[in-house]
Homo-oligomer: A and B are copies of this chain.
Amino acid sequence: MGVTLKDIAFTLGLSPSTVSRALNDHPDINEQTRKSVKQLAKKMNYQVNKMASGLRTRKTYAIGVIVPKIASHFFSSVLSGIQKVAGSNDYQVYICQTNESTKQEIKYISSLMAGSVDGILVSLAKGSKNLKHIKQIIDGDMPLVLFDRTSDQFKVPKIEAEDFKGAYRAVTHLIEIGCKKIAHLAGPDNLGASHNRLLGYKQALIDNKIPIDEKLIIPCDFDPEKGREAVRNLISGPIDIDGIFSVNDEIGVEVILALQAMGINVPQQVAVVGFGDFPICEIVMPHLSSVMHNPYRIGYEAAECLFDQINSSQKGKNFRHIIPSQLVIRESSRRS
C-alpha cells in the first residue's frame, strides 16, 4: 500500500535523503526542489511512516494518559481537551483506564515507560498511596504532568481544579443562606482534589467562627451509595444538620434523592451544594447547586504543559496550575 520516500525520490530523480529533507523543511534545501517534492508527495498521498521515523529519531509521536475511568463526565471531558492539544501537535493519545486499581496503574506505567510514548499524563487511582511507580516515571526522565488527582510528593507540574477556593465559596454560600450545621461528604484524603475541598470546607467554617465538628465530615470515597448511607445516619442520629457540601455531584444528587425519600425538604430544611457542575445538576429536582470547574480546560492545559516539556526537553518544573472555578447557585441552596 504505502508510498515511501524512495518512490518519490525515484520519480523525481532525487535521493531519499533530499526528499526527506525537503519534506521536513530542512533549511539547506533548494526552494524549487522543496516545492516539487511537496507537490508530488501530496499528489501521491504520501504519509510518513511513523514507525520508521520514530525508530530513527527515538520519538513515538504518542503520549499516554492514565485515568481512573473513561466513562465519566469529568474524565471524558478532560480527555477531549487532551485530544485537542495532542491532535494539533500531531500526536496520538494512548488512553489507559485503571478502574481505580493501583495494580493496573503500575502495569500501564511500566508498559508506557518501555518506549511507547514521549510523555505521560496521570490522574491517580483513588487507592494509590504507595507511589513508587510515579517516581519511576520521573527517574526515567519521562515528561510527566499530574492532573486533578495529584500528589504533593512529587516536584512536577500539576493541573488542578480550583478545589480549595471552590469548596470555600460553596460552604460560605451555605453559611450565608443561614446554615449553621454543615456536613461534608468527603472524598479519599490522599488525593489532592478531595483533600483541598476538605480544607476549603474547614477554612470557610473557621472564617465564619463555626466550630469544626469531625463527626460532620464523612468519607464517602466517591461512592454515591456511601453518600446515601451517610445521609441516613446524619439524619437519624442526634445531630441536626441544615446543610451538606458534597465532594462531587454524583454524591450530591444522591444526597438530594435520599433526603427527599426521608421526607426532608431541600433546600428549606437541608440545603445541598455539590462540586463539578455535571449535567445531572439540572436534572435532579430541585436542581443542584454546584462548583463549576472546567474539565475540558484541565485536560487542555495539562496536555499543553506536557508538550512544553516534550518540545523543549526541559524537565517539568514543580508548579501547581489552578483552573478557576465558579459557584453556580440553583434551587438546592436557594431559600426564599
Contact = CB atoms under 8 A, between A and B. Distances in A.
A265 to B, nearest CB: 14
B83 A95 contact: yes
A263 to B, nearest CB: 15
Nearest to A56: B51
Nearest to A62: B92
A95 B93 contact: yes
Judged by DSSP, the binding face of A is mixed
Contacts of A47: 111, 114-115
Nearest to A111: B47
Interface string A66-110: 000011110111011001000000001111010000000000001
A64 to B, nearest CB: 9
A1 B115 contact: yes
A280 interface: yes
Given A80-B70, A80-B97, A92-B116, A283 B51 contact: no
Contact of A285 (B49, B75, B97, B285): B285
Contacts of A51: 51-52, 54-55, 60, 115
Contacts of A60: 51
A21 interface: no
Size range of the interface on A? 35 or more
Contacts of A280: 279-280, 283
A278 to B, nearest CB: 10
A257 interface: yes
A253 interface: yes
A138 to B, nearest CB: 13
Given A2-B114, A253-B283, A97 B71 contact: no
Contacts of A77: 71
A140 B62 CA distance: 25
A284 interface: yes
Contacts of A93: 94-95
18 contacts: A45-B110, A50-B116, A51-B52, A55-B55, A62-B92, A71-B73, A71-B77, A71-B79, A75-B76, A83-B97, A92-B94, A93-B95, A94-B94, A253-B283, A257-B283, A280-B280, A280-B283, A285-B285
